[in-house]
Structure 1
Amino acid sequence: MEFRMESDSIGSKLVPSEAYYGVHTLRAAENFTISGLKMNRDFVCSLAEIKKAAAIANGEAKLFDKEIEKAIVLACDEIINGELFESFIIDPIQGGAGTSANMNANEVIANRAIEILGGNKGEYSIVHPNDHVNMGQSTNDVIPTAGKITTLRLLDKAINELRRLSEALELKEKEFEDVIKMGRTQMQDAVPITLGQEFKAYTSAINRDIKRLERSKEELKCINLGGTAIGTGLNANYEYFNKIVPTLRLITGLDLTRAEDLIDCTQNVDCFVAVSSAIKTCAVTLSKISNDLRLMSSGPRTGFGEINLPAKQNGSSIMPGKINPVIPEVMTQVAYNIIGNDITITMAAEAGQLELNAFEPIIFYNLFGSVEMLTNGVNTFIKNCIVGITANKEVCSNLVDSSVGIITAICPYIGYEKAATIAKRALKTGETVKDIIINEGILEKSELEEILNPKNMTQVKKLSKPKLSSRLAVV
């Protein structure tokens, strides 16, 4: 392998001749062997979009030659189009508030621009990583802006999957609207409900999560680009300062605005905490739904057995024929991971000091991971679980008939104490509530059937209500 010599404030170092990255990137790659991963592709693309916008804004301000502007823009376009990603070699978890990520982008873009202009990599007198590619910028306004652009795009993908989930749940709501089952509170029989009503509740919860995520996006559209090191705009040309955000808005297609208080927007990263919180809340919802599905499908012979989940793979290496609820299980594990990420993001945001939060790399690593994991988890949840759920209508009906929970519907007609006595007797003797009431002549059969009509028990209905006084004698 051939090398070229590059120098920085620490000293000189050999860099592979064919590498688009430079000395700063190489030092960072050696210093930060943490996760073994590379930076998020969308994040790299966002960095290139920022550098492209900066080159155009600086070019329009006539701060460097048009040829340099064009070369930088072409190099950025190649990265945006998916090229040169192998040159972004730094671990996403890094010290320095993201300076290494910013310099990785500056060096790759500079060296590619040098090639476009006919030079050799490392000839920074032609295009310089700091003086040209990073002109008018700082890590401290570039990195948070790239983080916001990336999160916005990842959130759009997650929200699209959640909308698909909402639609799938709504279809199940309609499919199961006539399936009467026993509702349960604290894992004990409560009162009847339809399976469709339960799925409608899931749909409502997911729709609420979508709204939260949509609201959280608004804060991310406010960026500090142009504020440079601490939000004061030091070293940013006035014309560049006025052009950079509108230019970036055109390049990204996102409705970005400059923060009114650039110092605040540089110091504080609470917007990422808010987004993470909304993602965590959605994860909690998804895990709760997953837990419900596992309970309702349990057995299938010795549990509730009210629904069937799609059989996706063998459930045991020793028990033949066993099928486990693997998709709800993985959805819950996704939720656990997201909840853990949220704690890391919260602590990293709290640890900011004075004019900068140095821990944005770990914030972005966990935030991007949370959104992507949520997106992928919901995708498999829909495809491999929700759409294939079927109901065991007869099992559900039999459980309702045999439950003492239906006594609650009769309580207004015979009084609480008498209803409780009937419930205790049913539990002790194994008789059904219906049989006791009819055999004891407490209510007429036709009257009981009206009260216990499944629709009447699962919706607010106007029923004929006899006076309690004539029916309060204890059984």
Structure 2
Amino acid sequence: MEHANNRYENIAQLYRTNGQRTEHDLLGDKAIPDTAYYGIQTLRALENFDISGISLNFYPSFIRGLAGVKKAAALANHELDNLSDSTTHAICQACDEISMGMLHNHFIVDMIQGGAGTSTNMNANEVIANRALEILGHQRGEYQFCSPNNHVNCSQSTNDAYPTAIKIALLEANDELLQEVDNLIEYIDEKADEFSDVLKMGRTQLQDAVPMTLGQSFQAFATSLRNEAERLKTCSVPFLTVNLGGTAIGTGLNAEPAYREKVIPHLCNITGRNIVLADDLIEATHDTGSLVMYSSALKQLAVKLSKICNDLRLLSSGPRAGLNEINLPAMQPGSSIMPGKVNPVIPEVVNQIAYKVIGNDLTITMAAEAGQLELNVMEPVMVESLFESIEILKNGMNTLGVRCIQGITANREVCSANIRNSIGVVTALNPYLGYEVCTRIAKEALESASSVYDLVLEKRLLTKEQLDSALAPENMVG
């Protein structure tokens, strides 16, 4: 260790020139900008993984998750006398600053990377170490005083720190997602109340079925989303179980046995969540089942949203040659060649978001299946896919609520005319006339372009009072 410390010191002294410092690792030396809080391993990852253009700082909750894990580890190591008071204080202060949003622009590695997340872990270790060095009164890169590996990463491996940070971040991201679901439900509930007295035809297989209210259609949308919110809550619960303390493969090598007992309470205090240690750390280190399950919940939410948007597009189709039962707010001109055309662009973009989330779910499924032996090295693409799905779902639901649902109006006259002209109302007469008689009436009404109402009266099958009672809105729509 003394030899390594001397080497770090010599490098810092000899190579800190021209606004750069030189850092050393297994593969050799590299020049790092003096302004950078990251170090040599982050720089190598930046060179190796120019893949998606989506870096860690796209997802602040992930960076906060990493900072939380590093702070908990520092506090636990301090209790075990692995870190001095001053080093622990400096690391914890650096983590607190990162949790408050500072230094996020130095988390620069691509979300998709080889190495099972090592580049992400080292990016965090280096930023925290260099900020801690400043707090201690040293220069960045003087790692003999606070090392990314020996101090910030003490008692840890990427294989327990990285997945634990993922789970903490996903819990936070899920809370934000649920808030957007609740906001969208509120917008839909308002429309359900507004349209509660608008009678319209319900449809099955795109054919006239039986009457309902437009409010009932919107209430069904809201109920569907409430169900998905509950599923998201259920599927996020496994994120509270972590493998921190398992180090490389779950055996806890290089971490004292007491470490795992001390680090989890600190993590609970830092995050405000009831985090628990997995019963089998070896299984927990290679298992990604919780990510697969949560992704399936995201996919189902996306499917429900897409179905809602399909319905909105159908109900607003026209305006002359479609259903035209509702009006979506006009957001932009719809054609470069057809004057006056306005398209349902907001539902369309939410449909496309759903397709992306469904594709991400397949990616996550395949990556989980690709895990081998004691580690799943495909976690980075799973994580990137999950965070992307959450982010675009949040943005899509906000856009749908604010720029579409909120401004929807009902074409009451069109809805009423559809009821009057529909054959489907004959279903309400089944209890009075029987299926066979109603079938004949429906067929005749269709062939003669007559209304069911008029035919029943002409044939004296019911009195006007009986017919009006049978076809009263409150009797038809429950």
Please tell me whether residue 19 in structure 1 is matched to residue 36 in structure 2. Answer: yes
Q: Give 1:380 deviation, angstroms.
A: 1.1
Please tell me whether residue 183 in structure 1 is matched to residue 202 in structure 2. Answer: yes
Per the alignment, residue 271 of structure 1 pairs with 290
Please tell me whether residue 52 in structure 1 is matched to residue 71 in structure 2. Answer: yes
Please tell me whether residue 105 in structure 1 is matched to residue 124 in structure 2. Answer: yes
Of the candidates 326, 340, 357, which is equivalent to residue 321 of structure 1?
A: 340
- Give the aligned length: 459
Q: Give 1:112 deviation, angstroms.
A: 1.6
Q: Give 1:340 deviation, angstroms.
A: 0.7
**SS of alignment partner, residue 189 of structure 1:** strand
* Partner Cα separation in structure 1 for residue 262 and residue 365 of structure 2: 33
Q: Give 1:204 deviation, angstroms.
A: 1.1
Please tell me whether residue 375 in structure 1 is matched to residue 394 in structure 2. Answer: yes
Please tell me whether residue 158 in structure 1 is matched to residue 177 in structure 2. Answer: yes
Q: Give 1:152 deviation, angstroms.
A: 0.6
Unaligned runs of 5+ in 2: 1-17
Per the alignment, residue 399 of structure 1 pairs with 418
Please tell me whether residue 78 in structure 1 is matched to residue 103 in structure 2. Answer: no
Per the alignment, residue 4 of structure 1 pairs with 21
Question: What amino acid is aligned across from residue 38 of structure 2 in structure 1?
Answer: Y
Of the candidates 238, 243, 247, which is equivalent to residue 266 of structure 2?
A: 247
Question: What amino acid is aligned across from residue 247 of structure 2 in structure 1?
Answer: T
* Partner Cα separation in structure 2 for residue 372 and residue 14 of structure 1: 35
Per the alignment, residue 431 of structure 2 pairs with 412
Per the alignment, residue 340 of structure 1 pairs with 359
Question: What amino acid is aligned across from residue 111 of structure 1 in structure 2?
Answer: N
Q: Give 1:37 deviation, angstroms.
A: 2.1
Of the candidates 162, 172, 176, which is equivalent to residue 143 of structure 1?
A: 162
Q: Which deviates the most, 14-23 or 291-300?
A: 14-23
Q: Give 1:236 deviation, angstroms.
A: 1.0
Q: Which deviates the most, 362-371 or 255-264?
A: 255-264
* Partner Cα separation in structure 2 for residue 444 and residue 36 of structure 1: 72
Of the candidates 207, 222, 225, which is equivalent to residue 203 of structure 1?
A: 222
Of the candidates 108, 111, 114, which is equivalent to residue 92 of structure 1?
A: 111
Q: Which deviates the most, 41-50 or 340-349?
A: 41-50
* Partner Cα separation in structure 2 for residue 155 and residue 241 of structure 1: 26
* Partner Cα separation in structure 2 for residue 164 and residue 18 of structure 1: 42
**SS of alignment partner, residue 436 of structure 1:** helix
Per the alignment, residue 450 of structure 2 pairs with 431
* Partner Cα separation in structure 2 for residue 388 and residue 256 of structure 1: 42
Provide Cα deviations, 1:31-84, integer angstroms capped at 9, x if missing partner: 000011211222112111111111111112111211111111122122112121
> Percent sequence identity over matched residues?
54
Q: Give 1:127 deviation, angstroms.
A: 0.8
Please tell me whether residue 34 in structure 1 is matched to residue 63 in structure 2. Answer: no
Aligned ranges 1:58-73 → 2 under 5 Å: 58-73=77-92
Per the alignment, residue 308 of structure 2 pairs with 289
**SS of alignment partner, residue 265 of structure 1:** helix
* Partner Cα separation in structure 2 for residue 169 and residue 114 of structure 1: 52
Question: What amino acid is aligned across from residue 366 of structure 2 in structure 1?
Answer: M
* Partner Cα separation in structure 1 for residue 181 and residue 348 of structure 2: 18
- Across the aligned residues of Structure 1 and Structure 2, the Cα RMSD in angstroms comes to 1.3
Question: What amino acid is aligned across from residue 449 of structure 2 in structure 1?
Answer: G
